[in-house]
Amino acid sequence: MLKRLRPCAQMKRLDDISLTYLQEHGIRGLLIDVDNTLTEDNRLEVDSWAQQYLHKIQAAGIKVCLLSNNNSERVRPLTEQLGCKALAKAGKPSKNAYGKALSLLGLNRKEAAAVGDQLFTDVLGANRAGVWSILVEPISPKEIMIVRIKRPLEWLVCKWNHIEMSRTK
């Protein structure tokens, strides 16, 4: 079980994933978690740094799909702002969520990477689906209650897996 909770890679935040890194790993698409990976929880706009990054990689031919357990009312404004595909109410860590997102992009699991800030949804789901998993640090300490409850367990798993994860912002 701990192996499935170990990300393939770890970055500080989304825009630390360089185009060169993606190309070197044969990644043609990103499945990106929304809350606390792309933007703060329940924020309906993407910060300029994330918007610039996504436009840059999309211009280079990298396909993007937002993959969120949140509802479509939350995700739709972001997809409109970014001009990308999305799967809301995805049901992560289900393998099916990743399969549906890959179908939306027309890619197979070896051509994509999933980026997220949570071990028990984003990393576990990507690893179960055979998708390259990239763990990023949460961009904000503001989180919904269920995530705040899970964070201490994630930190414990990170310690066991020798993964560095910031506890505070």
**Any idea what the CATH number is for the domain that residue 90 is in?**
3.40.50.1000
- From residue 129, give the alpha-carbon distance in Å to each of 12, 23, 44, 52, 113: 23, 21, 28, 29, 11
pLDDT number for residue 41: 80
CB distance 62 to 30 below 8 Å: yes
pLDDT number for residue 169: 38
Q: Which amino acid is at 3?
A: K
- Is 78 within a domain? yes
Q: Residue 98 belongs to what domain range? A: 3-160
- Is 22 within a domain? yes
- Is 168 within a domain? no
Q: Which residues of the chain have pLDDT under 70?
A: 1-2, 140-141, 143-169
pLDDT number for residue 59: 97
- Is 67 within a domain? yes
Angle at 60 between CA 56 and CA 21, to 5 degrees: 85
pLDDT number for residue 119: 85
Q: How far is CA 169 from the centre of its chain?
A: 19
Number of domains in the chain: 1
- Is 167 within a domain? no
- Is 46 within a domain? yes
pLDDT number for residue 139: 85
pLDDT number for residue 40: 85
The Cα–Cα gap between 133 and 115 comes to 6
- Is 165 within a domain? no
- Is 169 within a domain? no
